[in-house]
Amino acid sequence: MSLQKLRVILRHKSEKELIDEIADLYKKFDAVKRYYKASLLNDDEDVFNFSMAKIEKAMQPKFTADAYLPTYKIAEAKKAISEYKKVSSNDHGIARLMLFYVEVCINIINEHDYIEKVWSSGISTFEAVIKFIKQMDLGVDMRESIEKVIRLPNEHNEMNYALARIYERTIIKD
Protein backbone atom coordinates (compact mmCIF):
# COMPACT_ATOMS: atom_id res chain seq x y z
CA MET A 1 0.00 0.00 0.00
CA SER A 2 1.33 3.41 -0.90
CA LEU A 3 1.51 6.35 1.50
CA GLN A 4 -1.01 8.21 -0.65
CA LYS A 5 -3.52 5.36 -0.40
CA LEU A 6 -2.96 5.14 3.36
CA ARG A 7 -3.69 8.86 3.72
CA VAL A 8 -6.95 8.47 1.81
CA ILE A 9 -8.03 5.61 4.09
CA LEU A 10 -7.05 7.51 7.25
CA ARG A 11 -8.95 10.63 6.19
CA HIS A 12 -12.17 8.61 6.22
CA LYS A 13 -11.68 7.48 9.82
CA SER A 14 -13.07 9.34 12.81
CA GLU A 15 -10.82 10.96 15.39
CA LYS A 16 -11.65 8.18 17.88
CA GLU A 17 -10.79 5.48 15.33
CA LEU A 18 -7.45 7.15 14.63
CA ILE A 19 -6.66 7.45 18.34
CA ASP A 20 -7.56 3.79 18.88
CA GLU A 21 -5.42 2.75 15.95
CA ILE A 22 -2.41 4.72 17.21
CA ALA A 23 -2.91 3.30 20.72
CA ASP A 24 -3.00 -0.21 19.25
CA LEU A 25 0.24 0.42 17.34
CA TYR A 26 1.77 1.81 20.53
CA LYS A 27 0.90 -1.38 22.42
CA LYS A 28 2.15 -3.72 19.69
CA PHE A 29 5.40 -2.13 18.51
CA ASP A 30 8.34 -1.00 20.61
CA ALA A 31 9.52 1.23 17.76
CA VAL A 32 6.25 3.18 17.99
CA LYS A 33 6.70 3.53 21.77
CA ARG A 34 10.24 4.86 21.27
CA TYR A 35 9.04 7.27 18.60
CA TYR A 36 6.28 8.77 20.73
CA LYS A 37 8.44 8.92 23.82
CA ALA A 38 11.12 10.84 21.91
CA SER A 39 8.85 13.07 19.85
CA LEU A 40 5.97 13.84 22.21
CA LEU A 41 7.72 13.74 25.57
CA ASN A 42 11.10 15.04 24.40
CA ASP A 43 12.63 12.14 26.33
CA ASP A 44 14.89 10.30 23.98
CA GLU A 45 17.36 8.81 26.48
CA ASP A 46 15.81 5.33 26.11
CA VAL A 47 15.88 5.68 22.33
CA PHE A 48 19.50 6.87 22.51
CA ASN A 49 20.53 3.90 24.68
CA PHE A 50 18.62 1.52 22.42
CA SER A 51 20.46 2.94 19.39
CA MET A 52 23.82 2.61 21.13
CA ALA A 53 23.07 -1.03 21.92
CA LYS A 54 22.12 -1.65 18.27
CA ILE A 55 25.43 -0.15 17.13
CA GLU A 56 27.39 -2.24 19.64
CA LYS A 57 25.59 -5.41 18.55
CA ALA A 58 26.05 -4.72 14.84
CA MET A 59 29.74 -3.99 15.32
CA GLN A 60 30.51 -7.25 17.11
CA PRO A 61 33.12 -9.17 15.09
CA LYS A 62 31.84 -12.03 12.94
CA PHE A 63 34.52 -14.62 12.27
CA THR A 64 34.36 -17.07 9.39
CA ALA A 65 36.70 -19.88 8.42
CA ASP A 66 37.40 -18.41 4.98
CA ALA A 67 38.34 -14.89 6.12
CA TYR A 68 41.47 -13.75 7.93
CA LEU A 69 39.81 -10.70 9.49
CA PRO A 70 36.38 -10.49 11.10
CA THR A 71 33.46 -8.78 9.37
CA TYR A 72 31.06 -6.23 10.80
CA LYS A 73 27.51 -5.17 10.06
CA ILE A 74 28.41 -1.56 9.26
CA ALA A 75 25.19 -0.88 7.35
CA GLU A 76 23.14 -2.10 10.30
CA ALA A 77 25.07 0.16 12.70
CA LYS A 78 24.63 3.17 10.43
CA LYS A 79 20.93 2.33 10.10
CA ALA A 80 20.64 2.66 13.90
CA ILE A 81 21.98 6.21 13.56
CA SER A 82 19.53 6.99 10.74
CA GLU A 83 16.60 5.60 12.73
CA TYR A 84 17.58 7.69 15.75
CA LYS A 85 17.69 10.81 13.57
CA LYS A 86 14.13 10.08 12.42
CA VAL A 87 12.65 9.90 15.92
CA SER A 88 14.78 12.37 17.85
CA SER A 89 14.93 16.12 17.55
CA ASN A 90 17.87 16.16 19.98
CA ASP A 91 20.80 17.44 17.91
CA HIS A 92 23.23 16.78 20.77
CA GLY A 93 22.02 13.18 20.95
CA ILE A 94 22.48 12.73 17.21
CA ALA A 95 26.03 14.08 17.40
CA ARG A 96 26.81 11.96 20.48
CA LEU A 97 25.55 8.81 18.76
CA MET A 98 27.62 9.49 15.65
CA LEU A 99 30.73 10.11 17.78
CA PHE A 100 30.00 6.89 19.65
CA TYR A 101 30.01 5.02 16.34
CA VAL A 102 33.41 6.56 15.49
CA GLU A 103 34.71 5.41 18.90
CA VAL A 104 33.50 1.89 18.17
CA CYS A 105 35.33 1.96 14.83
CA ILE A 106 38.56 3.11 16.53
CA ASN A 107 38.26 0.32 19.11
CA ILE A 108 37.78 -2.26 16.35
CA ILE A 109 40.84 -1.01 14.50
CA ASN A 110 42.86 -1.18 17.72
CA GLU A 111 41.71 -4.71 18.43
CA HIS A 112 41.77 -6.27 14.97
CA ASP A 113 44.27 -4.11 13.07
CA TYR A 114 43.44 -2.11 9.97
CA ILE A 115 40.11 -3.10 8.43
CA GLU A 116 39.48 -0.82 5.47
CA LYS A 117 35.67 -0.82 5.61
CA VAL A 118 35.66 0.01 9.33
CA TRP A 119 38.35 2.66 8.85
CA SER A 120 36.51 4.29 5.94
CA SER A 121 33.18 4.17 7.73
CA GLY A 122 34.64 5.71 10.88
CA ILE A 123 36.31 8.51 8.90
CA SER A 124 33.22 9.27 6.80
CA THR A 125 30.99 9.29 9.88
CA PHE A 126 33.40 11.63 11.64
CA GLU A 127 33.31 13.98 8.65
CA ALA A 128 29.51 13.84 8.68
CA VAL A 129 29.23 14.50 12.42
CA ILE A 130 31.64 17.44 12.24
CA LYS A 131 29.59 18.96 9.41
CA PHE A 132 26.39 18.31 11.37
CA ILE A 133 27.84 19.90 14.52
CA LYS A 134 28.92 22.95 12.56
CA GLN A 135 25.56 23.19 10.75
CA MET A 136 23.62 22.97 14.02
CA ASP A 137 26.03 25.36 15.76
CA LEU A 138 26.91 22.82 18.46
CA GLY A 139 30.68 23.34 18.26
CA VAL A 140 31.22 24.83 21.69
CA ASP A 141 29.00 22.23 23.40
CA MET A 142 30.52 19.27 21.55
CA ARG A 143 34.17 20.35 21.52
CA GLU A 144 35.20 18.19 24.49
CA SER A 145 33.47 15.10 23.07
CA ILE A 146 35.08 15.59 19.66
CA GLU A 147 38.55 16.05 21.13
CA LYS A 148 38.06 12.97 23.33
CA VAL A 149 37.42 10.87 20.22
CA ILE A 150 40.45 12.36 18.46
CA ARG A 151 42.66 11.58 21.48
CA LEU A 152 41.43 8.00 21.93
CA PRO A 153 44.34 5.59 22.23
CA ASN A 154 44.95 4.37 18.72
CA GLU A 155 47.66 1.97 17.68
CA HIS A 156 47.27 3.31 14.16
CA ASN A 157 48.09 7.00 14.59
CA GLU A 158 47.11 7.68 10.99
CA MET A 159 43.47 7.59 12.06
CA ASN A 160 44.10 10.10 14.86
CA TYR A 161 45.86 12.38 12.38
CA ALA A 162 43.04 12.01 9.85
CA LEU A 163 40.39 12.83 12.46
CA ALA A 164 42.39 15.81 13.75
CA ARG A 165 42.82 17.17 10.21
CA ILE A 166 39.11 16.84 9.50
CA TYR A 167 38.32 18.65 12.75
CA GLU A 168 40.83 21.43 12.13
CA ARG A 169 39.53 21.98 8.59
CA THR A 170 36.05 22.72 9.85
CA ILE A 171 37.21 25.33 12.36
CA ILE A 172 34.68 24.43 15.03
CA LYS A 173 36.99 25.63 17.77
CA ASP A 174 36.19 28.81 19.74
Give 103-134 pLDDT, tens digit per residue: 999 999 888 777 889 999 999 999 999 999 99
Q: What is the mean pLDDT of residues 58-70?
A: 89
When pLDDT is cut at 50, 70 and 90, the band that residue 174 belongs to is: very low
Assign 74 a pLDDT band (cuts: 50, 70, 90): very high
Residue 25: C-alpha distances to residues 22, 30, 32, 42, 151 (Å): 5, 9, 7, 20, 44
Query: What per-residue confidence (pLDDT) applies to 69?
Result: 83
Q: Tell me, what's the pLDDT at 41?
A: 67
The whole-number pLDDT of residue 36 equals 80
Q: What's the whole-model pTM score?
A: 0.83
Nearest to 107 by CA among 144, 133, 137, 70: 70
The residue-averaged pLDDT of 86-110 equals 93
